[in-house]
Amino acid sequence: MSENGFATAAVIGTGMMGPGIGLTLAMGGVATTLVSRSEEGARRGLEAARAQAALLGANGLLPPTLGALDSSTAFEKIIAGVDLVIESTPEDLGFKQQLFARLDALARPGTVLASNTSGLSISAIASLCRSPERVLTTHFWNPAHLMPLVEIVKGEKTSDAAAQAVRELLGRCGKTPVIIKRDCPGQLGNRLQMALVREAVHIVAEGIADAEDVDLVARTSFGLRLPAYGILEHQDVVGLDLGFAVLDYVARDLASEPHGPDYMRAMVERGELGAKTGRGFYDWSGKDINEVRTRRDEFVLEMLRRRRAHPTV
């Protein structure tokens, strides 16, 4: 990392998340290269990032100037010359350990090495590195070019300086970065999300409500206010005496198995994997996944426009 912060970066992986991560860094003025193993992958990644930039620009969400954004297959050359590396590769611990050991050997001193892992231990990923103090997680939420949150997870040996420097950079890139002080399964956001998923599946399995109504309740009640009104903020507003009394009563009936729901496991074993197989909690034979994604993205874009017009802490 240069004295003036991060001037250059590399993003490894040009699949689902890499282009959006690269665009985010460019929006913060960082000259960024998307690194792929193949020329075709590099080309597709850069095209995806440019399409995402066009979408943001059409919605008034691009800064006046961008850092340079390019793609390359010259892995060793690129890694040796940048201030920040973010990898976004498959969630395979052994693969990431070997990759980070290689990054650690190639990168110059001071370069921060980050993983976009959504659940693997960053301490374990850094275990083969000689300089684990510069290794941390930057978990971007999908889609990376739209979702504000990035979770910065410190490993057992990550330095405070590295975490704070990345936090400041991501803030300049327009993201909402938070530092997770202890490396734990699921980080922060996924721990909250998985608790909600577990209870939602439990409700369907117990015959309390259908999947469609579970989603409708989430979208039109607490989910609707969450962008402006947090979970614990709500508890303080209604009063902890009332909040605790309700939770103490309901908690005894909530799902609490220390494993994934058996109901969901059976669905997977039957090959009911959701949209990609045509059936999951929903019948996708008449449901268009692209329409669902478009509805999601348009809502997020509207929220981002509102945040820009009416910024809050």
Span(s) in the chain for CATH 3.40.50.720: 8-180
Compute the average pLDDT of residues 245-269.
96
Compute the average pLDDT of residues 19-39.
97
pLDDT given at position 309: 82
How far apart (Å, rounded) are the C-alpha atoms in residues 279 and 227?
30
Q: What percentage of residues in the chain have a pLDDT greater than 90?
A: 94
Is residue 78 very low, low, confident or very high in pLDDT (cuts 50, 70, 90)? very high
CATH code for residues 190-309: 1.10.1040.10
Residue 112: pLDDT above 60? yes
Instruction: Count the residues in the chain.
Output: 313
Residue 236: pLDDT above 80? yes
Residue 136: pLDDT above 90? yes
How far apart (Å, rounded) are the C-alpha atoms in residues 198 and 72?
41
Span(s) in the chain for CATH 1.10.1040.10: 190-309
**In this structure, are strands 112-115 and 84-87 parallel, antiparallel, or unpaired?**
parallel
Is residue 312 very low, low, confident or very high in pLDDT (cuts 50, 70, 90)? low
Q: What is the mean pLDDT of the chain?
A: 95
How far apart (Å, rounded) are the C-alpha atoms in residues 14 and 33?
10
pLDDT given at position 313: 45
Residue with tokens 């912060």: 5
pLDDT in tens, 137-190: 999 999 999 999 999 999 999 999 999 999 999 999 999 999 999 999 989 999
pLDDT given at position 1: 58
Q: Please tell me what DSSP assigns to residue 279.
A: B
From 88, 118, 77, 113, select the one nearest 14 (Cα to Cα): 88
CATH code for residues 8-180: 3.40.50.720
pTM for this one?
0.91
pLDDT given at position 147: 96
Compute the average pLDDT of residues 42-64.
96
